Chains A and B, each alone.
Chain A
């Protein structure tokens, strides 16, 4: 059992299975009070200090009110240059009141250039969303936003379940803007995948729709890792990531995606940064 799986289980037990009816209530003004967070904090970070005066390290953009609870855009920006002696090694994305609160753990390297990440998540209930940066030197920094999932018609399940299964595994991968050697370049990876949570019960058969979601993503440039991520079903259907890497000349930007059924998808794009 890998780290994320055990964390997921811990979190799922804390929040209890079966959707939002049992979700923790959160006080928007008091992000530390949430019981799920307190348990996760102990499990994942033990007694380590987590600095919440984090503005110079990491910031988080999320809508105050989720327009569509199935597609909540999350933008994590970092303000640290990724140098070999000091860089952000991991970014944790947590959604306290989701059935599985650890939404993603992103791993970065100096070759990432910047540890920024944009993605889209499902939000099951009114909740704090947290981004925690872990430096290669061990310090932890956390920033928090409160997000309200809006209205009853806006529920996290996808919009067209049949279509989602039909296009599973299709990917789009591109580099945006002009690419210059040595300068962080922005890439976008789109994966067509239903990202089923496994928490939806068929009320008639009392059987759960099997969990089937993207589990791991690995991106390399010219053979060097620039991003890897352990992710789960808090990530929206059709997972979508924008991130940076540092091109050095000609090289292949390659992404490998693995889901919970051990299906493996690959895509690559040639990058010519000139020289």
Chain B
């Protein structure tokens, strides 16, 4: 893996200096397209699609927003993409911008489109710290076999144990990471989108990486606790951010309409399911009855709305 990284540097050097002959044996790793949305803050916007996608589809695995922040001392990467290969392409994008070491790789939560590229960075020397919510490790351990099975089944990608990289720096509450000339403020949230959501605020640019606590255009997906998420959104709204990078969808400067749209959808699911439970409907009946409700204007509703209703029912039937 060490050699993969040096091969990469070699091929980039070849690209820059047009010494093609020196490095002709190296694999070409195409850097992921990124945009500098604020000084030193680079974002790759993922496709609006489901993970893992289909073999041969250029969008496969590439659905989450990924980013990196360049400080005077080093670089922090925020989410790494839906496959080890995408992680390599993100690393190539980092190297195109900066030669400073990657000192932190932060995962905003467990989902595979945000974590499976970690392995590309584990190969670096010196190795970065992998940073996540205190509950990320347990969640990733429980889910990794399923993620690997999906990669094999749908993308034909074989992986091994080393491709799943766990956090070695855990955040139970808050943590500040110094990058040189700028700091990242990390905050671990109570169960919301998942039970291991972590947000990242860059103080120099006031850019908030919200992870999947905020979805733009992509239908929000409940994989934690619906009522908890609505509460977390109230706290999130009070953060002082000049722009927000959602987990999915375009980065936004004025983010209150995006937050409001998400609140409308999630509270609609809550209210619909509460009524169905009160009316004595079973989980199957409730999902059928609400299958077309509240989804106007969102993408990927066929993939996620019924799933959200199912999860919401299982949560809310225990309400007092």
Instruction: Please choose the segment from A18-26, A36-44, A218-226 that sits at the chain B interface, where 4 or more of its residues have CB less than 8 A away.
Output: A18-26
- Chain B residues with CB below 8 A from A163, complex form: 191, 195, 225
Quick check: B195 and A160 within 8 Å, CB to CB? yes
- If over half of A's interface residues share one DSSP class (helix, strand or loop), that class is named, otherwise mixed; here it is loop
The listed residue (B147, B164, B166) touching A152 by CB distance below 8 A is B147
Contact A151 B51 (CB under 8 A): yes
Pairwise interchain contact B282-A73, C-beta atoms closer than 8 A: yes
A151 CA / B304 CA spacing, docked (Å): 10
Given A18-B145, A19-B149, are A153 and B223 neighbors across the interface (CB < 8 Å)? yes
| Bound-state Cα–Cα, A124 to B149, Å | 10
Q: A152-B52, A200-B142, A203-B144 are in contact. Are A61 and B284 (CB under 8 A)?
A: yes
Give CA–CA (A26, B309) in the complex, Å. Answer: 28
Beta-carbon contacts of A206-221 to B below 8 Å, as 1s and 0s?
Answer: 0001000000000000
Say whether B276 faces chain A, with CB atoms less than 8 Å apart: no
Q: How many A-B residue pairs have CB under 8 A?
A: 120
The answer to whether B10 has its CB under 8 Å from any CB of chain A is no
Chain B residues with Cβ below 8 Å from A172 are: 318
Residue ID in chain B nearest A170 by CB atoms: B318
Which residues B150-182 have CB closer than 8 A to chain A? 150-152, 154, 161, 164, 166
The answer to whether A238 and B318 have CB atoms under 8 Å apart is yes
Convert B280-312 into 0s and 1s, putting 1 for each residue whose CB lies closer than 8 angstroms to a CB of A: 101110010000000000000001001101110
Give bound CA distance, A240 to B282, whole Å.
11
Q: CA–CA, A153 to B154, complex, Å?
A: 13
Structural contact, B311 and A162, CB atoms closer than 8 A: no
* Secondary structure call for the B interface: helix
Could you tell me the distance between the alpha carbons of A75 and B150 in the complex, rounded to whole angstroms? 27
B314 at the interface (CB under 8 A from A): yes
A25-77 interface (Cβ within 8 A of B) = 61, 63, 67-69, 71, 73, 75
Contact A190 B191 (CB under 8 A): no
Q: Which residues of A contact B50 (CB under 8 A)?
A: 151, 153
- Contacting residue for A159 out of B51, B223, B287, CB 8 A: B223
Instruction: Let me know if B135 is at the binding interface, CB within 8 A.
Output: yes
Q: Does B146 sit within 8 A of A, measured CB to CB?
A: yes
Interface presence of B317 (CB below 8 A): yes
The reply to whether B282 and A155 form a contact with Cβ atoms under 8 Å apart is: no
Q: Is the CB of B224 within 8 A of A192?
A: no
Which residues of chain B are near A156, meaning CB under 8 Å? 146
| Interface presence of A161 (CB below 8 A) | yes
In the complex, chain B residues whose CB is within 8 Å of the CB of A155: 142-143, 146-147
A249 CB within 8 Å of chain B: no
Chain B residues with CB under 8 Å of A192's CB are 318
Tell whether, in the assembled complex, residue A67 and residue B141 are in contact, meaning their CB atoms are under 8 Å apart. Answer: no
Kindly report which residue of chain A lies nearest to residue B161, judged by CB atoms. A203
| Interface residue ranges, B against A (CB under 8 Å) | 50-52, 111-113, 135, 137-152, 154, 161, 164, 166, 191, 194-195, 221, 223-225, 280, 282-284, 287, 303, 306-307, 309-311, 314, 317-318
What are 13 contact pairs spanning A and B, CB under 8 A?
A19-B149, A21-B148, A61-B284, A69-B146, A71-B310, A120-B314, A151-B150, A152-B52, A159-B191, A160-B195, A161-B135, A203-B144, A204-B166
Q: Which 10 pairs across A and B sit closest by C-beta, in order of nearness?
A: A19-B145, A157-B142, A152-B150, A67-B307, A155-B146, A20-B149, A160-B195, A67-B306, A155-B143, A200-B142
- Give me the interface of A with B, judged by CB distance under 8 Å: 18-21, 23, 61, 63, 67-69, 71, 73, 75, 118, 120, 124-125, 150-157, 159-163, 167, 172, 176-177, 190, 192, 200-204, 209, 236, 238, 240, 242
